[in-house]
Amino acid sequence: MQQRAAPKKRLGQHFLVSQFYAERIADSIEASSDETVVEIGPGRGAVSRYLKERFPSFHCVEIDSEVVAGLRETLGGGEWSLHVGNILDFDFEVLGSRFHAVGNLPYNMGARIIRKVLYQAPRVVSCTFMVQREVAERITAKPGTKRYGFPTVLCGFFGVSRILFHVPPGAFFPKPNVNSSVFRLRVNPAVERRLPSEQWDQFFGFVDRGFSMRRKMLVNVLGREGGKEYYRRCLEELSIPVTARPEALNVDEWVGLYRKVRQCPQG
């Protein structure tokens, strides 16, 4: 029997220990048994054991080499695959043309992991992730609300998200100081029609810049180094109020504004 690896603070590890929530997460993945599923950060295998039952040839990506032996012992033999390394460096090509992603994401890396996975679109079909509850509420926020921001636009660009259920601190070891939530994002298979993938970095950089001073009107934020009149015209041509703040624009309006600025660059 392998000795269980201790959770590491530097990796943001809070191992899920509740079988009830582990099984519920596994059951929440909208995939058939013959589809490819990749679990990010399986840890001690709480969710993995249920994933193995549903998806016999699923994949795991784990950064902590110290939990690998225990994970192999927990899951035993079969067609499942374990990849040891950082998910941010993972080559998703090994998963084939379509896959579903699932994971209890570390709080200190969750945003970067979500972006990395979504950038695999349209090959990624869905994401079922557990994150800090506040993050999940930001991702699923509506335009015009206080929680609406860059994470909302990022995820909303790729598809539709909704919170499935909340998970209390007592379901983890060690107990975190915050509540967690599981959300699902169904990826739009035609996402590249919205913007081609080679423009995604530039687009999200534009959105991030727009939210850099969210209390100010967008025309003042984007035009703070000059060009306020230019951005005023862009907003007017898109029928967006010139007094709009960044949280007032829905995803389509952000895409439309980016396209307008790209087509008619200032100066």
Q: From 139, 167, 192, give the residue that closes a domain.
A: 192
Q: Which residue has the tokens 């862009």?
A: 234
Q: Closest Cα to residue 17, out of 174, 183, 177?
A: 174
| Euclidean distance between CA atoms 52 and 78, whole angstroms | 9
Statement to judge: residues 202 and 83 lie in one domain:
no
What is the pLDDT, as a whole number, of residue 3?
A: 46
Do 133 and 169 share a structural domain? Answer: yes
Residue 2 confidence (pLDDT): 45
Q: Does 80 share its domain with 155? A: yes
Final residue of a structural domain among 152, 173, 192: 192
Q: Based on the domain organization, do 43 and 140 belong to the same domain? A: yes
Query: At which of 192, 219, 241 does a domain end?
Result: 192
Yes or no: say if 90 and 159 are a contact pair by the CB < 8 Å rule.
no
Distance of CA 40 to the CA centre of its chain: 11
Output the CA–CA distances (angstroms, integers) from residue 224 to 210, 212, 216, 234, in the order listed. Answer: 11, 11, 10, 15
pLDDT, position 11: 58
Q: Is residue 28 part of a domain?
A: yes
| 137 shares its domain with 227 | no
Joined together, the tokens standing for residue 84 give: 């040891």
Indicate whether 98 and 162 sit together in one domain: yes
Same domain for 136 and 38?
yes
What's the full length of the chain, in residues?
A: 267
Residue span of the structural domain in which 254 resides: 197-263
Residue 2 lies in a domain: no
Query: Does any domain span residue 132?
Result: yes
CATH number of 178's domain: 3.40.50.150
Strands ordered across the beta sheet of 159-167: 81-84, 59-62, 37-40, 99-104, 124-132, 180-187, 159-167
Global pTM value? 0.93
Number of domains in the chain: 2
Q: Which two tokens mark 100?
A: 């579903």
pLDDT in tens, the chain (267 residues): 444 666 556 555 578 999 999 999 999 999 999 999 999 999 999 999 999 999 988 999 999 888 898 999 999 999 999 999 999 999 999 999 999 999 999 888 999 999 999 999 999 999 999 999 999 999 999 999 999 999 999 999 999 999 999 999 999 988 988 999 999 999 999 999 999 999 999 999 999 999 999 889 999 999 886 689 999 999 999 999 999 999 999 999 999 999 999 887 675
